[in-house]
Amino acid sequence: MKTLVVIASGVADRPQEDLGGRTPLEASQTPALDRLARDGRLGRLLPCAEDVRPEEGAFALAMYGIDPRAHPEIGACLDAAAFDVPVASLDQVFRLSLVTAHEDTIFDPTAGHVSREEAVLLLQALADGVGDGDLVFLPGDGWRNLLVWRGARDVRVRTVSPYEVVGRSIAAAFPRGTGTARLVAAVSKSADLLPGHDVNECRRDLGENPATLAWAWGPGVVSSLPSFRERTGLSAAVVGVNPTFVGAGKLAGLEAVRVEGATGTVGTNFRAKLDAGLAALERHDLAFVHVDAAAEASHSRDFVAKVAAIERLDGYVVAPALREIDAGRDLRLLVVAGEAVACDSGRHLHDPVPFAIFGAGVRGHRGDAFSELAAREGGFLVERAHELLDFVLHTT
């Protein structure tokens, strides 16, 4: 039997005033997801321990069945693997987010989803302006980039993700630790260099959020992950664009599948992602399809876009996957509502998230709908997220 795992990051949430006290899941039309809940096994999952940040890689590792506590220093090395950026043994690598800062806070942690082409120009200006040969600024996919600090493996740095700084003091959230002055200086310098750049002048003219600050976070040093095949005896592929999820998969030995039109936003090509996952199952035992659209809508604090992302996930990913099973394909389907992201604040939450398993040999668990409330009332809780995959592979 083949297994398709759909990780819908950011779908889970808390009740929103703008949605009449409902969560975005409850406000969405999701007949396919609701069928999973009724006819499959509905449960909820703790994305990670309270003292671990899901967005820094813990949730990604857990979805592949890897205990994130065993790899506390891997951090941005996951993203570096996704972007094929080598990290030397004596280096430290950081995620470098291009964000929109306003006064003393971050307003938009994605800078309006600035493009890679724009990021290349902005990072070149930053590198020229900082003038520190040990700090290497590398473009990723646009708002998500990398900073490699050569020879700084032993520098202990505490950082805060840009999502946590929205509406809070930038000054209080700067990187901290002994020997971090050069890193802090580079972040501070970006606030002087980037706002007036031609790229940002153009973005303002178009009514788009400018990328006015480069925010370093999620430090990592070279680490190895256990081989997925050696650990499970199975082969797998990952479909997606989120660098943390893709990089974790690549480091574990999965095939990374790129999809034309996949953007990680609500405008992504949902159906092409599913088709790529189903095609990968012709070569592998498992396919992980990561969908980031609801999370990105949450980070933009756009509940309309989040509802749209959830409904497109339902119609273009879950529904056709169910049709494959109905047509007789020997397939087990797991859908996880990803780590929760609050649409009103744009921040990641530690709340339990719904998941559902559907397919041959899966007994129903009396779910009424695929929602946070229904999953909570079902009483089936997986407390260690990295154990979910083994449960799915062996459950009946």
Boundary-marking domain end, from 196, 220, 244: 220
Q: Last residue of a domain, which of 194, 220, 246?
A: 220
8 Å CB contact between 318 and 324: no
User: Is 76 part of a structural domain of the chain?
Assistant: no
Residue 163 covered by a domain: yes
Looking at the fold, whether 210 and 251 belong to one and the same domain comes out as no
Distance CA 234, CA 279 (A): 16
Q: Do 35 and 152 belong to one domain?
A: no
Residue 199 in any domain: the answer is yes
**Cα–Cα distance measured from residue 274 to residue 276, given in angstroms and rounded to the nearest whole number:** 5
* Residue written as token pair 């003292």: 51
Claim to verify: residue 210 and residue 241 sit in the same structural domain: no
- Strand 41-45 relative to strand 381-382: parallel, antiparallel, unpaired? parallel
348 in Cβ contact with 55 (< 8 Å): yes
CATH of the domain at 240: 3.40.720.10
Domain range for 192 is 82-220
Decide if 31 is inside a domain.
Answer: yes
Q: Give domain status of residue 104, yes or no.
A: yes
Non-local (6+) Cβ contacts of 382 within 8 A are: 43, 44, 45, 46, 355, 388, 391
**Same domain? 214 vs 231:** no
Let me know whether 154 and 301 are in one domain. Answer: no
Q: Tens-digit pLDDT profile for the chain (396 aa)?
A: 899 999 999 999 999 998 999 999 999 999 999 999 999 999 999 998 877 777 889 999 999 999 999 999 999 999 999 999 999 999 999 999 999 998 899 999 999 999 999 999 999 999 999 999 999 999 999 999 999 999 999 999 999 999 999 989 999 999 999 999 999 999 999 999 999 999 999 999 999 999 999 999 999 999 999 999 999 999 999 999 999 999 999 999 999 999 988 887 888 899 999 999 999 999 999 999 999 999 999 999 999 999 999 999 999 999 999 999 999 999 999 999 989 999 999 889 989 999 999 997 787 766 789 999 999 998 789 999 999 999 998 865
Report the alpha-carbon distance of residue 299 to residue 107 in Å, rounded: 10
Q: Do 152 and 250 sit in the same domain of this protein?
A: no
Q: Per the domain annotation, does 307 fall within a domain?
A: yes
Q: Are residues 113 and 216 in the same domain?
A: yes
Please check whether residues 298 and 178 belong to one and the same domain.
no
Same domain for 91 and 171? yes
Report yes or no on 75 lying in a domain. Answer: no
Q: How many folded domains does the chain comprise? A: 2
Domain end among 171, 192, 220: 220
Closest to 241 measured CA to CA, from 313, 144, 146:
144
Contact 60, 336 (CB under 8 A): no
Same domain? For 323 and 372 the reply is: yes
Same domain, yes or no: 157 and 97: yes
For residues 196 and 249, state if they share a domain.
no
Distances 97 to 72, 123, 246, 327, 347 between C-alpha atoms, Å: 21, 11, 17, 44, 15
Residue 350: helix, strand or coil by DSSP? coil
